[in-house]
Chain A
Amino acid sequence: MKPAPFRYHRPESLAHALELLSGLEDAKLIAGGQSLGPMMNMRLVQPAELIDLNSVPGLDLITEKDDFLEIGALARHHAVSNSSSVKTCCPLLAEAAGTIGHYAIRSRGTLGGSLAHADPAAQLPLVAATLGAQIVVNGKRGERRIAAKDFFVSMMSTALEPDEIVVCARFPKAAAGDRHAYLQFSRRTGDFAIVAVACTLQDRKLRIGVGGAEDKPLVLDGLNPAEEPDAIARKAREAVDPAENPRVPALYRKELVEVLVKRAVARCLTSN
């Protein structure tokens, strides 16, 4: 349970980090290390070069703009879930970020790391997809803004090019009267969800994101909130196509999708 040897780099600017990333063979970025650390300890990943982003200044800021809330890639989950800006502008994100792993994991893990890692059951990719966030990345070709629906490609695979770094994500701000719900099911507190459901009600339009069921978050858009939650839940169940897994049968995930969507929709319609 010790990582394989690597060379360590600690850039102090984004420009230097980008230069290292495009110049070095077999390099990996590390931010909070809460997913990469275990993978390296188990030697599932053995990069030759490790580029530590923690000393790059200004990447952890949470900034309220006119149209969106911008959250730096190095913002820790605990900071995101407790930020008053996030609670006000993006309450779904604050709630979901507060359920990631455990307290110590949230204190260290970062928003950019979670998005780039793209675990199909993780909270932040699900929230980013459900809210239609933009992922801002920087690389050799300069800055790119990628819509969440294009960013997440499949299991742990994103639209990031090898020379690119996630710089921040931009989340649309919730309006007064918008409602949301976030529900997840896992066997133990802090485990990745078997199924997670994020739901927003904006302008009488219901949007449902489902995590954990497929290889990336699935978003069902333009649902009619006047429909019965039961009927919406059945639609969501029919829409997902989970892979068979010896420990979690596909049918079980479909059942969970139906139950969680029903509860999330009901909560959305009744909460303030």
Chain B
Amino acid sequence: MLDFELTVNGQRYPVRAEPRKLLSDVLREDCRLTGTHVGCEHGVCGACTVLVDGKPSRACLIYAVQMQGHEVTTIEAVAKDGKLSPLQQALHEVHGLQCGFCTAGIVMTFEAYLKENPRPSEAEVREVLSGNLCRCTGYHNIVKAIIRVADEGSDATA
């Protein structure tokens, strides 16, 4: 067991965990931030995507102990004061989710991507979205929501 501190969503969490404990599990079990979902646990599905120093990363391919000195951002930090981010609002309005299991990972991926490329083409959106598996919607409305946020030219950050 190791004792270390994590910074998640600007807040410090003291953690006692084995080095092998995945960031996804520490977020959910130790930090009690269960918005980060765990799907495939080998980097394929994208459900556990969080931001590490602002960059999208699979939380299942990082050991929590590696995150000392880094800033982790999860889905819990996206809505501010109960107000959804423009991307979350768009997903809500155009029915960009059904069961919602993949949604947190998609939101984290595109919160980062839209900062880098605020006006992506549909092809670019689909290329980036290929890293997040959704088994309900067929992606159509997810793409629609992301394009809507981009078209509105609104800042995708909350």
**Which chain A residues have a beta carbon within 8 Å of chain B's beta carbons?**
1-8, 10, 33-34, 37-38, 41-42, 50, 52, 54-55, 76, 78, 101-105, 107-108, 188-190
Contact = CB atoms under 8 A, between A and B. Distances in A.
Contact of B61 (A10, A34, A50, A189): A34
Given A2-B20, A6-B19, A38 B42 contact: yes
B131 A50 contact: no
A1 B62 contact: no
Interface residues of B, number: 33
Which of A5, A37, A103, A188 has its CB near the most chain B CB atoms (within 10 A)? A103
Contact of B52 (A6, A105, A108): A108
A42 B61 contact: no
B62 A37 contact: yes
B46 A104 contact: yes
16 contacts: A1-B40, A1-B42, A2-B20, A8-B2, A10-B68, A33-B61, A37-B43, A41-B60, A103-B56, A103-B128, A104-B58, A104-B109, A107-B57, A108-B57, A108-B58, A189-B130
Nearest to A99: B127
Contacts of A108: 52, 55, 57-58, 61-62
Contacts of B113: 103
B89 to A, nearest CB: 22
B5 interface: no
B42 A189 contact: no
A253 B132 CA distance: 28
Contacts of A33: 61-62
A233 to B, nearest CB: 27
Nearest to B49: A104
Contact of B46 (A6, A41, A102): A102
B19 A8 contact: yes
Contacts of B63: 3, 8, 50
A107 B56 contact: yes
Contacts of B65: 8
Given A1-B41, A33-B62, A108-B52, 15 more contacts: A1-B40, A3-B63, A5-B19, A7-B19, A10-B66, A34-B43, A34-B61, A41-B60, A42-B42, A55-B69, A78-B55, A104-B46, A107-B55, A188-B130, A189-B130
Contacts of B22: 2-3, 41
B88 to A, nearest CB: 19
Contacts of A102: 46, 128, 130-132
Contacts of A104: 46, 49, 56-58, 109, 131
Pairs A-B, 7 closest by C-beta atoms: A102-B131, A37-B61, A8-B19, A1-B41, A38-B42, A189-B130, A104-B56
